[in-house]
Amino acid sequence: MPAEVAGAALIDGKELAERIRADVALESAALAARGVTPGLSVVLVGDDPASAVYVGAKEKASREAGMAGETIRLPVDTTQAQLLAIVERLNADPRVHGILVQMPLPRQIDPDTVIRHIRPDKDVDGFHPVNVGKLLIGHTDGFAPCTPAGVQRMLMEYGVETRGAEVVVIGRSTIVGKPMAALLMQPGAGADATVTVCHSRTRDLAAHTRRADILIVAAGRARMVTADMVKPGAVVIDVGMNRIPDATTKSGTRLVGDVDFDGVRRVASLITPVPGGVGPMTIAMLLHNTVRAAARTLDG
């Protein structure tokens, strides 16, 4: 049951992610017993601190789930040709079921070119045009991007009714906003919603957000959504992760979302905290996608 907090109940993404990862570990062991150990290979180019932390977390999570694989760390001056050669090697390796090239990439490498070189059946991040197309037309044999898939799983696990619901998504990125809208407008469980996508050119943003039964915020602006922009009783999913100055902490900063949590939690019925909300779900769904990719090699 979600914990009660000043009017809104918290959606505990950390606890849900732990359950998903436990299920993934069981599925991974079952596959290993049949001769297939799920393999996830992660490629990190350069020394971006945030990317390094995130890749380390993925590496630890995959190991705990009983998966094989490697983390390939490349220098910041790696050429596009060198990176593509590594991707092609991983494409051809039957022990590798999932390939993830960590973004952002250095300026000399075009991310779209790299994504297009990953085999769609190994694209567990869900960014290859083939997987994007399958998502849009409602085919379920592709991979959905991990963060939107994690948000949809949260809504389902917490019993949020999406059928016929007014959903407003703030943000139109290819990583979150667009695939989130595509997932929720499909027919079926955890979907069948009426979706509005808002962005930086939207006129009168608050007029849209105040209609939302479910408000999903992925704009990349710290605490931009305030209580007066939220319909009483709405479910609020905060995908944002922003560092702001905070002299009371050891680092001098703290992590906040795109939602003014303290204010909005007094209006909403359910809300995700930052940290501990959507973030842990992203890695959990990455592992889930990798196990699915491995299972398909047994299905033919």
Would you list the domain boundaries of the chain?
35-119, 145-279
* Residue tagged active-site, from 58, 134, 178, 231: 58
Sole residue written with tokens 């490349």: 74
One fold for both 35-119 and 145-279? yes
Catalytic residue among 12, 102, 123, 213: 102
Tell me the two tokens of residue 267.
């209006």
Instruction: Read off the pTM.
Output: 0.94
User: Would residue 58 show up in a list of annotated catalytic residues for this protein?
Assistant: yes
Q: Which residues contact 203 (CB under 8 A, 6 or more apart)?
A: none
Q: Is 186 annotated in the active site?
A: no
Tens of pLDDT, residue by residue, the chain (300 residues)? 344 445 789 999 999 999 999 999 999 999 999 999 999 999 999 988 888 888 999 999 999 999 998 999 999 999 999 999 999 999 999 999 999 999 999 999 999 999 999 999 999 999 999 999 999 999 999 999 999 999 999 999 999 999 999 999 999 999 999 999 999 999 999 999 999 999 999 999 999 999 999 999 999 999 999 999 999 999 999 999 999 998 998 889 899 999 999 999 999 999 999 999 999 999 999 999 999 999 999 975
Catalytic residue status for 80: no
Architecture in CATH for domain 145-279? 3-Layer(aba) Sandwich (3.40)
Given 12, 121, 123, 125, which residue is catalytic?
A: 125
Are 242 and 220 in contact by the 8 Å Cβ rule? The answer is: yes
Closest by CA position to 230, among listed 20, 8, 70: 8
Domain 35-119, CATH class in plain words: alpha beta
What is the three-state SS of 93-153?
CCCCCEEEECCCCCCCCCHHHHHHHCCHHHCCCCCCHHHHHHHHHCCCCCCCCHHHHHHHH
